[in-house]
Amino acid sequence: MSKDAHRHWPDHIDEHIPAAWPLRPWVDVRNALTAYGDEHTRLRRLIGSAFTTRRVRALVPVIESLASGLLDRLEDEPAGTEVDLRARYAWVLPLMVVNTLLGVPDETHQDFRRAIGGLFATNLSEEEATANALAVYALLDDLVAAKRRTPGDDVTSALIDAHDDATDSRLSHQELLDSLLLLIGAGHETTVNLLDHAVVNLLGDRGQLAAVRRGDVAWSDVVEETLRHQAPIANIIMRFPVEDVHDAESGLTFRQGEAIVINYAAVGRDPHLHGENAEVFDSTRSSRREHMAFGHGVHYCLGAELARLEGRIALSALFDRFPHLELAVEQDTLVPVPSFISNGHQVLPVRLHGSADQAPVG
């Protein structure tokens, strides 16, 4: 199976795909997400420096500090205030972390927030999608120019060095921009939705929340079960068989060059693996770690451990500060984001209650 539309999708090669197709950026990019074979190995190795054990561990105090600062602002709100926790915490924290990792200047954080979010919004018109893609690449060009002027100990500067390298492994300019796009997009959206769904599920089952706060269940168990129960990325496009593939058990045949979409949201609910109650969130589930939220094989997400780390720190800090946090609406009325790819909620309305506040009734 290949993810390289330039080499293995006949409709793309023969220019049958409309230039303004809103999902086109997902197959046109040239980075480790879409590369195949030796090209994938080369590009993955070059961005692997972003997620070395040293660099991820060094981010622990950074994540803790960023989370604390965001929670300080929430704590300034009067007790019982309704806020959108996705906008004020779940969305902002991962973006601040990945921007720190990449060395993105503070003044461009909000611009990246808007533009990257647009890539996952698959309900945009052709005109809106085209304009958003242009905005994304303009920001990436500006980021590269800024880091050329003032390089630092960050991933963007390291990738620029790889671009300027005279060896055969050097990055082209397009590969440089697309690799940064991959790191910002994948390093942000997945963690946003992880935090979003973890909060929703814990507030929907306060018994599990009490168990984790007592220490009977680890925050890592909550993170893994959330990844299984609500994969942050619902669908990834696309894969293409490089030859006919026949699965004898199902009787399915995937023909060479056919476009294939993998639905990770469904994979995590497989009753054969997770039992007949696979649709239930249960942090004590024995199969909670057996999910594919971060992919599989050579395309397994390089940032998986960073996302897990952010999840543990962010959730622990949130519920330590607001142990009586409650949803401000019924759980089943939360509206999904308008995306074929991303799996989260448009807003996450909660009411804030601190440790000294009376627990909410019900």
pLDDT in tens, 166-211: 776 688 999 999 999 998 888 888 999 999 999 999 999 999 999 9
pLDDT in tens, 256-307: 999 999 999 899 999 999 999 999 999 999 999 999 999 989 999 988 999 9
pLDDT at 358: 54
- Name which of 50, 212, 192 is nearest 113 in CA terms: 192
Confidence at 23, pLDDT banded by 50, 70, 90: confident
pLDDT in tens, 34-83: 999 999 999 998 888 777 888 888 899 999 999 999 999 999 999 899 99
Tell me, what DSSP letter sits at residue 18?
-
Q: Rounded to whole angstroms, how far apart are CA atoms 113 and 11?
A: 32
What dihedral do alpha carbons 277, 212, 101, 342 form, nearest 10°? 30
Structure tokens at 321: 């500060």
Q: What is the longest distance spanned by two Cα atoms in the chain?
A: 65
Please report, for the chain, the start and end positions of each structural domain, with discontinuous segments joined by +.
5-351
CATH among 1.10.357.10, 3.40.190.10, 3.40.640.10, 1.10.630.10 for 5-351: 1.10.630.10
The strands making up 349-351's β-sheet, listed across from edge to edge, are 82-84, 349-351, 326-327
pTM over 0.85: yes
